[in-house]
Amino acid sequence: MLVDGLLAGLVIGKIRGGKFTHFTDLRVKYAYLILFAFMIQYPVIIFYSKALLFAVTASYVLLFLFVFYNRHLQGFLYIAIGMAMNLLVMAVNKGRMPVDVDAARALAPEDLPALLAGEYGKHIAISDGTYLNFLGDIFFLKFPYPRPIIVSLGDIVLSIGVFLFIQKVMVDKKVN
């Protein structure tokens, strides 16, 4: 959903008369923290899922540092709130994001056995053993949404923040 917020922001920003060239003057602090965050999380998801809670928490610490250092930028409060919502639900579920089983079945039935077995990346099927499910991936977006996807409330809030940030950069060059 983050990519969707990014693309929608770019398209709407252009429609509103914004300029892509405004990004060249943008001064975002410590952007490399985003790369490090993903470098921590994704190898663990693939190779050593027993350390998933540690990897998710460590990567979110880096992402929160990035957001903190750039908190003055438009939309970053929403980004922080969305991230906090996602981290909270994953933290109480041992590093995994609960996913609505019916939505997962409709979206990718071939992945359902792995999800139900608890072997599907950092996702786990919603059950009696998962917590804060209302913050999990429970919203199944399909037509007329451009592509079918399952998202959490945190994903939506985070994407709104990204959208607002892009609007500010493209339409009003004075961001920093």
67-77: pLDDT as tens digits: 999 999 999 99
In a domain, 6, yes or no: yes
In a domain, 61, yes or no: yes
Q: Tokens in use for 50?
A: 């027993």
Q: Is 34 exposed, middle or buried (0-12, 13-18, 19+ CB in 10 A)?
A: middle
Total structural domains within the chain: 1
pLDDT tens-digit map of 28-68: 999 999 999 999 988 887 787 788 899 999 999 999 999 99
Which domain range does residue 164 map to? Answer: 2-171
In a domain, 64, yes or no: yes
Is pLDDT of 172 > 90? no
Name the residue with higher pLDDT: 119 or 110: 110
Residue-level pLDDT at 145: 86
Q: Which helix (H) or strand (E) holds 140?
A: strand 139-141
pTM: 0.91
In a domain, 176, yes or no: no
